[in-house]
Amino acid sequence: MKMIKLIFSLALLMALTGNAGAHEGHDHGPPLAVSVALDAKGNLWRASVKDGFVLVDKSVTLGSLAFSAPQKLNSQAQKIGTDGDARPKIAIAQNGNIYVTWTQALPTPYSGYIWFSRSSDGGKTFSLPSIVHQDRAEITHRFDALAVSPSGRIYVAWVDKRDLIAAKKAKQVYDGAAIYYAVSDDQGVSFGAEQKVADSSCECCRIAMLASEKGEAVMMWRHLFDGGVRDHAMAKIGVNERSPKIHRASFGQWKINACPHHGPALAKGGDWGYHMAWFDGGDKAGLFYARMDGEAWVSSPAKRFGDANSQAGHPALISNGEQVWLAWKEMTDTASQVKLVKSDDGGRSWDSTVVISQTKGKSDYPQLLLKDGQAYLAWNSEIDGLIWTKVAQ
């Protein structure tokens, strides 16, 4: 009898121990981290993640949104990055091809593969996904960025730790991770071998990337400068580039050994260069904007936007000629808001800040798109769904 009691209490103990994982399985709905893009007809395409699958669906943008039945891109469920700065990406080429990338998290901590899928029939069907990089070690290949140039060239960039691991093996010091990219010149049928842009990037922040008419790409990322300063860097990748030059883009001097989970935004300026927006932490924490001269690679003094005490961050930028829109997210005690400023002179001067949307409950980071020369906000939210609203002129 005694023995039975003992076995019982031991069993109970074991059951309790197992209880630590009892939260597992609570469902708060699918992740809110989505990406959107417009096609030439003005349809809004969305890439999202649910139950381990990347989904693509589309909606007309006249009136309220109504999405089609989604297509699953991966045939087997994966653990897909949707936390912090991670999200699936979608881009649409001028010929109507649709490209999607995402990061699959692998069992080893911080490790991942970047996957790619394409549709060459206007989104009716998508190709079997393939891994973009040739390096298949179970290490960090994460935080995919995707851009397609008007000429059709596809760039995929990501954060990669192969050089850190090689340095560790050789007992050498290596700070941060690296930025790598791969290019496809055959509409995504294949990608060339990956190339390195820069050593010593931040490990956990999204990369902002644009592709130009000429088929070049410009990237901006949080970099690890000397002394552990996490300011931003930019590089332009020429069509036949082998060793792109790295330019310092921001000078906030945020020195920190931490994961900020907070990457920058980038938009094309006139023929002079680029608009940049980013977050800096530390004593001067806040959201900043500056212009970058695309020839001399000199940036204008950083201009602060938003209320740092309301968590102003996660910027989005879009431009049309000399018009520029900058949006970001802030928190109030009861809701989250997207605030916006507009410039008509290429970012030299700005109108006053307006709140363009607000939602209670959980929300994603804002995205800006351009449709018929007009800026639109796309903002995913738990309660109000995907908010799609024309930004006041």
Partner 1 sequence: MKQVFKLFLLLGFLLSQQVVAEQLQPFVAASRVQIEKAHQGQPMIVAFWSLDCNYCLDELSTLGEFVKQHPKVKLVLVNTDGLSTAKEVVKVMKQMRLPVTYEAWQFSEPDEERLRYSVDKTWYGELPRTYYYSQSHQLKAVSGSPDLGWLKSWASKL
Applying CB under 8 A, which residues contact partner 1? 3, 6-7, 10, 13-14, 16-17, 19-26, 28-29, 83-84, 109-110, 203-204, 256-262, 279, 281-282, 285, 308-311, 313, 331, 336, 361-363, 382
Instruction: Please provide residue 90's backbone torsions phi and psi, each rounded to the nearest 5 degrees.
Output: -135, 140
Characterize the bridge pairing of strands 354-359 and 336-343. antiparallel
Task: Label residue 60 exposed, middle or buried (CB < 10 Å: 0-12, 13-18, 19+).
Answer: middle
Closest CB to partner 1 among residues 17, 393: 17
User: At closest approach, how far in Å is the CB of 21 from partner 1?
Assistant: 4
User: At closest approach, how far in Å is the CB of 144 from partner 1?
Assistant: 15
User: Does residue 152 come out as left (phi exceeding 0), alpha (psi in the -120 to 50 range) or beta?
Assistant: left
Closest CB to partner 1 among residues 17, 243: 17
Closest CB to partner 1 among residues 40, 258: 258
User: At closest approach, how far in Å is the CB of 280 from partner 1?
Assistant: 9
Going by C-beta distance under 8 Å and a sequence separation of 6 or more, which residues neighbour residue 32?
A: 82, 362, 363, 364, 380, 381, 382
Closest CB to partner 1 among residues 131, 285: 285
User: At closest approach, how far in Å is the CB of 343 from partner 1?
Assistant: 25
Closest CB to partner 1 among residues 214, 360: 360
Q: CB of 158 within 8 A of CB of 195?
A: no
What is the enclosing helix (H) or strand (E) of 49? strand 44-50
Q: CB of 103 within 8 A of CB of 81?
A: yes
User: At closest approach, how far in Å is the CB of 55 from partner 1?
Assistant: 18
Q: Report how far apart, in Å, the C-alpha atoms of 298 and of each of 231, 247, 314, 385 are.
A: 14, 8, 23, 40
User: At closest approach, how far in Å is the CB of 200 from partner 1?
Assistant: 14
Q: CB of 195 within 8 A of CB of 182?
A: yes
Closest CB to partner 1 among residues 103, 319: 103
